[in-house]
Amino acid sequence: MEIRNILKDIKDPLELHRDKRGTIADIFYDEIIKHVAIIQSKKGEIRGNHYHKDAQQHMLMTKGSLEYWYKHLGSDEPAKYVIAREYDLVTTPPNEIHALRILEENEFIVFSEGKRGGKDYESDTFRVENSIIPK
């Protein structure tokens, strides 16, 4: 898991441009994105609790916040979490179990490198029986 704020944590070759008109922030450069989806969630809901064998995903928060819980597949360690807020980009590598606790009504955009959309939506999604989010 990697988290960065696209307006604050700029990494080469990404760029951030600001002037009197506003801001242009690179999200990706020279990446192969195969699917993009926008997800809206209601406060108190749980999403995810799965992993992808092949796909890497990037989740860009556009509104609200959530707890992003994660752990590597096969790890005996307890899951960890970060709070994702507006303009945070959370990257999920393959074989990382991830689950989301929605803290407030929110919206995020998911960019996937690999099969994830349309007829392939579930083809690389592997559900985990027990939630990694503690009660």
Output the pTM of the full model: 0.91
Q: Kindly report, residue by residue over 72-97, the tens digit of the pLDDT.
A: 999 999 999 999 999 999 999 999 99
* Long-range pairs for 39-45: beta carbons < 8 A, 24 or more residues apart: 39/107, 39/108, 39/109, 39/110, 40/105, 40/106, 40/107, 41/66, 41/100, 41/102, 41/105, 41/106, 41/107, 41/108, 42/102, 42/105, 43/102, 43/103, 43/104, 43/105, 44/102, 45/102
Which domains are present in the chain? 2-127 (2.60.120.10)
Q: Kindly report, residue by residue over 48-81, the tens digit of the pLDDT.
A: 999 999 999 999 999 999 999 999 999 999 999 9
